[in-house]
Amino acid sequence: MRPSSMAARVASGCSSAALAFFRLRPLGRAARLAPAGRSAFGATAACRGRLVDSVLQELRSRRRVRVSARIGLQGTKELSDSKIEKRTIQKGLLLEFHKDSERSLLAVVERPDGKKNWVVTDQNGILSSIKPQQVTYVVPGTMDFDCSRIAEFLEKAQDLLDPTILECAWMELSEKDKSVTVEEFADIVYGSKESLESYCAHFLLSRDIVYFVKVESRGSSIYQPRPSAQVDELLRRKLAKEAADKELEEFVHLLKSAKALPLGSKPPKNSWLMEEKVKQKIESLQAYAVDACNDEQRRMAGNILKAMGFARTSSAALKLLINVGYFPVHVNLDLFRYDVQTTYTEKVLSVAEELLVDCPDSDKHVRKDLSNLRVYAIDVDEADELDDALSATRLPDGRIKIWIHVADPTCFLQPRSILDREAMHRGTSIFLPTATFPMFPERLAMNAMSLQQGTDCRSVSVSVILHPDGSIAEYSIENSVIKPTYMLTYEGATELLYMNLEEEEDLRILQEAASIRAQWRRSQGSIDTAMIEPRIKVANPDDPEPNINLYVEDQTNPAMQLVSEMMILCGEAVAAFGSDNNIPLPYRGHPQSNTAVSAFAYLPEGPARSVANISVLRAAEMDFRKPVAHGVLGIPGYVQFTSPIRRYVDLLAHYQVKAFLRGESPPYSAGDLEGMTFIASMHVKVARKLHSNSLRYWLLEYLRRQPKGRKYRALILKFIKDRMATLLLVDVGIQVTTVVAAGKVGDEASVVLEMVHPRDDILSVTEIAQDTEE
């Protein structure tokens, strides 16, 4: 078994310290003395055997002054190897045992502990009970060893523990293909089998992971030199591990340095991503923090946390990333957990910019000019994408005509284009308290595609004439041009309605139409699901204490009801248009509940009744060939059509309808629509989860900052078990569970906060008893 080139280089390079230990000249000297015409390596190889032989001969011939003698150890010349191997544990012996998975200690046996175990005093002076399986080595020649001498024994051993001895010994033994016991190895390298030398031989061999492998033979531990190829591979791994350990040490130093800096001086996030090796480690911590790591990231993150003195938990990883400034305090982990795309590729952005520069309107010649109408766009005050607006008038016969104007993004897009595919794989715009991630690139979505006040805007207008009872008498859909007159918030529109201004007659007509539509839908069995909904906008979210603006929206608000009714009316009209013209569309339906609407009539109108109604709803349905009755809305068919800038399924409906208006075949079959709707819907579910989780986090953060002891008005929504109830904090819009002493569903109660932890999603409240309140 001849050593390989790598192993030969290592062995021929036995350290000067090792050879000095043998009191011989370094191998490098022998190489330099090689005859002319022979390489240094060849000279080394030629004299290697003679050199090792001379080492061993000198070791055996010298009479060394043994260190073990100086500390009073018994000699072992009279003990055979077999006797050493078969020695039983007894009082006074010095042995090595596994303290735990990472530590081995020397100890002196004190006394038996039961039938099998032994009480020992270890090198730290600590008494322990150990099992026989924990014993890794019994040091020969150590009868009646004094435990106070263990420290001195270890100190003397340090003089003999040169790991490079293994390299030279492996070269000799591998050439002879010879296996050795610990004591034989001690005799070869130290010229002695006595206590100290035998222990040092055991220490080196038992911790060696490169040159020797332990095998069992008739109860004895034998160490066999590994094959050269295996040594090569193990050396490579060892060097790689040493390099990785060094990288880890340097990275931990970076973390500790960043952690020690004041908040405003921490390195920016992008500085951790510039160097690939640092990037891999910080991203491993990030993946570990969001429980989305692979095996390699889990191993790397675990090593980093251990080196930093942290527990190996996702919360510890998050805390560390916040402490070094990589994450802000209020980081939204769901963005990483669900791998949300918050940016666009250069290619997508480039295509969007080209459209902004040059986008001719292919429908210009058929657009109807409706710019003379008074147009109301009503939305939340921070709406970034404005995609619908309303107009109304009273016809000479007294009937009401309504226009629902919808932004026309399809005039910028082609089905199956790069922007269309991008929108499909996003499914929807994502609205969070801290940011908006639009379905299309921002400049396109929020400027060119959106309706703009006082500007001629391309749109698709759905016009409806109502019967006096609120049902649809006539409808039409056409390409149009509008000029929005008002951009109103719900609060602003409600104020205008209450003011009842003569010049805002069109707005009053819209309110009247909404009212008769709601009555008609109720007559068709619609179900009231209006709730109190919170809305939060967070300014400077990366600050430790950002500004939180809370809005609690009552969906019975007149302006909100007006807009809601008009959107439902539009969906019903588009479904009828699709049905009348056999157009494949994403028709939405909802079967009537098996529970009659009147079953909850005893509950007060509002959230309590809505929660009861929602609890008995059946699963929604979709069809892509014909309308499906929508029992919840109380209409014969429904197609979402009013948000094509922020909902991809709405955009699909626009593609289909617009093609029909141009006299073309629809671009998508029913099967196509079903597949694309499925893809988009998966992303919509993620977006809803993101919105829900983020909203709840910031609601809890808002509550955490409130004065201790503040009372909150709560509404009992339902009972879960006995007096355990779900409450709605009316002034905040969040639901919570607690025990209430009295009351029924729909009654009010007063509560105070007990505990709020946003990051752990913990909110607990306690009801205030009536006598305490007074």
Q: Which of 10-19, 102-111, 386-395, 578-587 has the lowest mean pLDDT?
A: 10-19
Q: Give mean pLDDT, residues 103-119.
A: 95
Which has the closest alpha carbon to 161: 65, 354, 334, 17?
17
pLDDT surpassing 50 at residue 660: yes
Residue for token digits 């009868």? 143
What pLDDT, on the 0 to 100 scale, is given for residue 10? Answer: 37
Per-residue pLDDT of 229-279, as tens digits, reads 999 999 999 999 999 999 999 999 999 999 999 988 999 999 999 999 999
CB 167, CB 11: distance < 8 Å = yes
Contacts (Cβ under 8 Å, ≥6 apart) of 588: 571, 620, 621, 622, 628, 630, 638, 639, 640
Rounded Cα gap, residues 244 and 246, in angstroms: 5
Which has the closest alpha carbon to 289: 326, 337, 251?
337
Contacts (Cβ under 8 Å, ≥6 apart) of 575: 585, 587, 627, 635, 636, 637, 638, 639
CA angle 259, 265, 266 (to 5 degrees): 40
What pLDDT, on the 0 to 100 scale, is given for residue 692? Answer: 97
What pLDDT, on the 0 to 100 scale, is given for residue 60? Answer: 41
CB 733, CB 533: distance < 8 Å = yes
Q: Which of 196-200, 514-518, 601-605 has the lowest mean pLDDT?
A: 601-605
Per-residue pLDDT of 327-378, as tens digits, reads 999 999 999 999 999 999 999 999 999 999 888 888 999 999 999 999 999 9
53: pLDDT confidence band, cut at 50, 70 and 90? Answer: low
What pLDDT, on the 0 to 100 scale, is given for residue 81? Answer: 36
C-alpha dihedral over 469, 471, 474, 475, to 10 degrees?
140
Q: Give mean pLDDT, residues 621-628.
A: 97
pLDDT surpassing 60 at residue 43: no
Q: Give mean pLDDT, residues 140-158.
A: 94
Query: At 398, which amino acid appears?
Result: G
Q: Give mean pLDDT, residues 274-285.
A: 96
Rounded Cα gap, residues 680 and 428, in angstroms: 8
Q: Give mean pLDDT, residues 278-282.
A: 96
What pLDDT, on the 0 to 100 scale, is given for residue 769? Answer: 77
Which has the closest alpha carbon to 378: 471, 501, 479, 495?
495
Per-residue pLDDT of 393-413, as tens digits, reads 999 999 999 999 999 999 999
Residues forming beta bridges with residue 128, ordered by sequence position: 120
CA angle 696, 724, 758 (to 5 degrees): 20
Per-residue pLDDT of 54-90, as tens digits, reads 544 444 443 333 333 333 333 333 333 333 334 578 9
User: Is residue 221 classed as helix, strand or coil in its secondary structure?
Assistant: strand
pLDDT surpassing 80 at residue 37: no
pLDDT surpassing 90 at residue 444: yes
771: pLDDT confidence band, cut at 50, 70 and 90? Answer: low
Rounded Cα gap, residues 482 and 461, in angstroms: 9
Higher pLDDT, 361 or 285: 285
What pLDDT, on the 0 to 100 scale, is given for residue 196? Answer: 96
Residue 594, phi then psi, degrees to nearest 5: -70, -15
Buried b / exposed e across 202-213, counting CB within 10 Å, b at 16+? Answer: bbbbbebebbbb
Rounded Cα gap, residues 165 and 221, in angstroms: 20
What pLDDT, on the 0 to 100 scale, is given for residue 360? Answer: 84
pLDDT surpassing 80 at residue 5: no
Q: What is the pTM of this model?
A: 0.77
pLDDT surpassing 70 at residue 303: yes
> Crossing angle, helix 5-12 and helix 164-176, to 10 degrees?
130
Q: DSSP label at 372?
A: T
